[in-house]
Structure 1
């Protein structure tokens, strides 16, 4: 009886740990329109300019964020060994499929381990149709802090409008709607 009880408790503990890992770092951080307190109220100020990052695909082609100005950019920083990254990947694939014919949005999946062969094999094995890249330089902290997955969404002017840390369901209708609105904005 005691052994059976210990197995149940151990199984429950493993379940709690797994759920915790899959939902880790689930806080969204909005960085558009930071506010500054003044004596007479709150004043909106411009979001800081972001660095011109470069990313390289498997063929060695380099894409820069400045070259993507005029498009909404969805950047996801991930790794093949990261359970929350793997958990959200099907929903990112679904989201991208919904925007496949929209020329006003780009998806960039950045393997933080810089192992494009391993990440390509992962995508192929799971039948995901997502554009893979590695960073072609240092990634500043406003894009990637200390946790993955992290998703950064840039508006058509190249400004960060969302930075999301932790796993998400990107197939949720409100996410597609928000991205659609960004693609239609001037």
Structure 2
């Protein structure tokens, strides 16, 4: 009986450890690091919190097989969200990203890229269609710099029109919060 109880405790311990690792890897939106990265109600910090870095030569493949280079997107604000269909916080923030993109409808000065970290375009396209999201999906064709994607998803980065990294935010959030929307609008309105 003791051996069985010991085995059960061991199994629960492993399950607990796996759950903790999963939550950390999926980006805990309540973590102190996440809250400091991009406070949802702070326009100024959203646009300037993180260090500015020149755009590396990063390439993505879109859902139609076309290769997109970040360097070719200079002159536009680029909103990149790294996510996966199995990640709870990623799925939870999708409606607000979809609404945010819709709020910029008709603007040629901003590009939205939803990058499936699993590289499964078929599954991510199916996810978007099933949920009626109008979000373009991509996979990485080159290495992603650690400045963009560390070890947690969801992670969102925003590049300004010069191609400089101005935001890196780990963890899920409401992208329709007034501060975030205003900060992106300000970036879009800035001259090239």
Q: Same fold (TM over 0.5)?
A: yes
How far 1:174 moved relative to its partner? 1.6
How many residues were matched structurally? 155
2:90 maps to which of 85, 94, 97? 85
Gaps of 5+ in 2: 1-19, 39-48
Q: How does 1:95-114 map to 2 (within 5 A)?
A: 95-114=100-119
TM-score by length of 2: 0.76
- Normalized per residue, the structure richer in helix is 2
Q: Provide the alpha-carbon RMSD of the alignment.
A: 1.9
Contact 1:22 1:87 in 2 (8 A): no
Which of 29, 51, 72 is residue 23 of structure 1 equivalent to?
A: 29
* Aligned 1:4-153 pairs, distance under 5 A: 23-25=29-31, 26-27=34-35, 28=37, 30-32=49-51, 47-153=52-158
Structure 1 gaps of 5+ residues are 1-16, 33-46
Distance 2:30 2:131 in 1: 23
> Which of 156, 160, 165 is the equivalent residue of 2:161?
156
Using the size of structure 1 for normalisation, the TM-score is 0.78
| C-alpha displacement of 1:173 | 1.7
Q: Of residues 179, 184, 189 in structure 2, which corresponds to 1:179?
A: 184
SS at match of 1:171: coil
Which residue of structure 1 lines up, in the alignment, with residue 8 of structure 2?
A: none
C-alpha separation in 1, matches of 2:65 and 2:165: 26
Distance in 1 of aligned mates of 2:59 and 2:30: 28
